[in-house]
Amino acid sequence: MIVPGAAQGVRVGRARDEAHVNLGINIGQRTKQLLYDLTGVAVAAVMLFPIYWMVATAFKPGRDILSLTPKWIPAPFTLQNFQDAIARPYFLDDVKNSVIVVGVMLVLAIAIAFLAAVGTARFGFKGRTAFLITIIAVQMVPLNALIIPLYLMLDRVGQTDSLAGLIACYLAVVLPFMVWTLRGFVANIPAELEESAMIDGCTRVGAFLRITFPLVGPGLVATAIFGFIQAWNEYIVAYVLLSSPNNQTLTVWLASFTTNHGPEWGPLMAGATLTGLPVVAFFLVLQRYLAGGLTAGAVKG
Amino acid sequence: MGVAIATPDLESAPRRPGRLRTNLLPYALIGPSVVVIGGILAFPLGMLVWLSLQHYGLRELIAHQGEWVGAGNYQAILVDPLFRQVIVRSLLFTLACVGLTLLFSTLIALLLLKVRQAVRVILMSALVFVWATPVIVTVDIWQWMFDYEFGVINYLLTQLHVGNFIHHNWFDNPVQGLSVLVLVVVWGAIPFVTITVFAGLLQVPADVMDAAHVDGAGAWQRFWFVTAPILKPIFLIVTCLSTIWDFGVFIQIYVMLNARPSSDYFTIAIYSYRESFGVTQYGLGAAIAVIMVLILVIVTFFYVRETVRVAEVAA
């Protein structure tokens, strides 16, 4: 803060005046800061409320849920809704299906995406730019638009009500983003590191496995988690393709809850909490990678 | 491995076989991706266009053979008054969602700069939680909150004397219902956009900001003349992505209305879905989907151009 004359040792009275002014500014700034902080907390509360309401409802006994005056906190507290949700037909089947679909898809996707990431980050070749532009553009094709041909294609080979068909679809959905992100991670590791390892006697493959692969580890984790979230949350393709209830995934189970059983909000909110839990957990691991995300480097010139 | 014995011969040019291998290697590396993306994204996209030129109903589905009708499906759609409504509704819905998302996200991002560290952590965590929650889950939550009988929103609005909302069904009136859906979409979109814009704001050089301050620029002027131009690429990308996501909105509307949305709630994705899987007119549904893709291609073009430019600058 610039205080004119302060450094020149002026009269005490003037100094006192300035102290008053300073205090005024401080109080003004403090109230302003307090206002900002309060607004920040209020925004956080408003944003979080729906999620709080889900968890709170999930722990409330039925009569507290269906009451005209809502109870703000879940007291008394019950786990009955979770038991009900888990005991529902097909819940466990569908959890298993979701895990299988996401697991198999991720293993395949990581392997395929990693190869392409290395190919595009480490080599210059004809068609590289075209490939990369396709990778970006293809992410923008809305999945809803592709459902009709995907359904007819899989129908022709008899894979509409099978997890294999769904895995293939998800693979194609997550792959472009994974290639693009992993490419960034690989490109950030200087090729010189590999080269010096090769000068020190490593083979090309050895240098890659010992130097690049460990360094790109966090990138692989981040990309895998991203793929997990996308596939775990996907609804439309699963809904269209999988017709028998024991073949469906968790999101389809959750979305059909109200239509099949009428609004039983308690078990529904418990099921929703259980579905969201793994995603939130993984997301918290991932978030520092996501902050830059799709626009990484946008402003750094 | 025996590599220690071999002295690297830096002078000689790579031998021919080695060179051939490095030439083919990148193609081998991207090969699997090309096959998957080509087979499961590009091929269906082509098939979609081909389907849109066929009459393809239940009979054709069983026979695996469509009947060529040329532009017939498109002609049918373009004279369909319902389709015109659907397009207008989709565009307005997208405009409302994207506009409100950008407005609130920018405000929250600016707020994040001002608040103290502890509050910033709280607000960021709240945003990340919302972002992480699966869309289906959020739709179920909002459905419960807007329940006409026991929903907390009706209770709150009544208590706050906004009006009498006891047993008020928001989805009886499509304007109200769509407003609720805009709220659901915007609430879900705010975290990603806010965090992205905030990441951009952190990159605005402090000295430029100080210089503007010294030159007497007010807060609004500093935002408009310093921050906004620097953030332009980020705003552009975020706007394109939001437009693409919101124009193709499906889950929120479909699940919120219990998989039975009335035609007042048809957006383009729902209309296409309804034509194909509801009344088994796959050809018509495909034609609608093609129109949706074509509209989005325009937006995508800007997105791709900006992303490539940004990637080139960063490289």
Q: How far is A73 from chain B (nearest CA, A)?
A: 13
Q: How far is A267 from chain B (nearest CA, A)?
A: 12
B95 touching A (Cβ < 8 Å): no
Give SS3 for B55. Answer: strand
- Please judge whether B47 and A171 are an interchain contact, meaning their C-beta atoms are less than 8 angstroms apart: no
Residues in chain B with CB shorter than 8 Å from the CB of A151 are: 277
Nearest CA to B246 out of B193, B190, B185 is that of: B185
pLDDT-based confidence at residue A171 (cuts at 50, 70, 90): very high
Q: Has residue A4 got a pLDDT over 60?
A: no
Topology adopted by domain A89-255: MetI-like fold (1.10.3720)
Residue showing tokens 């100094």: A15
- DSSP symbols for B60-106: HHHHT--EE-TTHHHHHHHT-HHHHHHHHHHHHHHHHHHHHHHHHHH
- Please judge whether B30 and A292 are an interchain contact, meaning their C-beta atoms are less than 8 angstroms apart: no
What chain B holds in terms of domains, given with CATH numbers, is: 16-67 (no CATH), 81-314 (1.10.3720.10)
Whole-number Å distance between alpha carbons of B92 and B137: 25
Chain B's closest residue to A279, CA to CA, is: B132
Whole-number Å distance between alpha carbons of A207 and A210: 5
Q: Has residue A13 got a pLDDT over 70?
A: no
Per-residue pLDDT at B93: 97
> Which tokens belong to A144?
């809803």
Whole-number Å distance between alpha carbons of B243 and B226: 25
Mean pLDDT of A36-43: 96
Q: How many residues does chain A have?
A: 301
Per-residue pLDDT at B66: 85
Per-residue pLDDT at A63: 86
Per-residue pLDDT at B36: 94
Per-residue pLDDT at B204: 82
Distant-in-sequence, close-in-space partners of A179: CB < 8 Å, separation ≥ 6: A113, A116, A117, A120, A135, B33
Domain spans in chain A, listed from the N-terminal domain onward: 89-255
- Chain center to CA of A256: 23
Whole-number Å distance between alpha carbons of A240 and B45: 17
Whole-number Å distance between alpha carbons of B240 and B234: 10
Whole-number Å distance between alpha carbons of B138 and B161: 27
Chain B's closest residue to A256, CA to CA, is: B258
Q: How far is B295 from chain A (nearest CA, A)?
A: 11
Mean pLDDT of A200-207: 85
A131 touching B (Cβ < 8 Å): yes
Distant-in-sequence, close-in-space partners of B85: CB < 8 Å, separation ≥ 6: B266
Whole-number Å distance between alpha carbons of A291 and B4: 44
Dihedral-angle region of residue A297 (phi above 0 means left; psi in -120 to 50 means alpha; beta otherwise): left
Per-residue pLDDT at A1: 37
Q: Are B238 and B254 in contact (CB under 8 A)?
A: no
Per-residue pLDDT at B7: 32
DSSP B277: I
Q: How many residues does chain B have?
A: 315
Whole-number Å distance between alpha carbons of A180 and A135: 7
Residues A65-95, buried b or exposed e (16+ Cβ, 10 A)? Answer: beeeebeeebeeebeebbebbeebebbebbb
Q: Has residue A20 got a pLDDT over 80?
A: no
Cα angle, residue B217 at apex, residues B212 and B221 outer, rounded to 5°: 105
A107 touching B (Cβ < 8 Å): no
Q: Where are the beta strands (DSSP E) in chain B?
A: 54-55, 67-68
Distant-in-sequence, close-in-space partners of A47: CB < 8 Å, separation ≥ 6: B126, B127, B130, B187, B190, B191
Beta-strand pair B54-55/B67-68: antiparallel
Mean pLDDT of A93-109: 94
ipTM of the complex: 0.85
- Please judge whether A50 and B141 are an interchain contact, meaning their C-beta atoms are less than 8 angstroms apart: yes
Give SS3 for A178. Answer: helix
- pLDDT tens digit at each of 315 positions of chain B: 333 333 333 334 444 444 445 578 889 999 999 999 999 988 999 999 999 999 988 888 888 888 889 889 999 999 999 999 999 999 999 999 999 999 999 999 999 999 999 999 999 989 988 988 889 999 999 999 999 888 999 999 999 988 888 889 999 999 999 999 999 999 999 999 998 899 888 888 888 888 888 998 888 888 888 888 888 888 888 898 899 889 989 999 999 998 889 999 999 999 999 998 888 899 999 999 999 999 888 887 877 787 778 777 765
Whole-number Å distance between alpha carbons of A239 and A259: 14
Q: Are A48 and B131 in contact (CB under 8 A)?
A: no
Per-residue pLDDT at A15: 52
Chain A's closest residue to B200, CA to CA, is: A299
| Alpha-carbon separation of residue B253 from A111, A292, B135, B166, B256 (angstroms) | 36, 30, 11, 23, 5
Per-residue pLDDT at A100: 95
Q: How many CA atoms lie within 13 A of A53 on its CB side?
A: 24
Higher pLDDT, B63 or A267: A267
Give SS3 for B267. Answer: coil
Residues in chain A with CB shorter than 8 Å from the CB of B304 are: 133, 136-137, 140
- Give me the helices (H) in A91-244, please: 91-122, 128-138, 143-156, 163-187, 191-199, 204-207, 213-233, 236-241
Q: Are B136 and B129 in contact (CB under 8 A)?
A: no
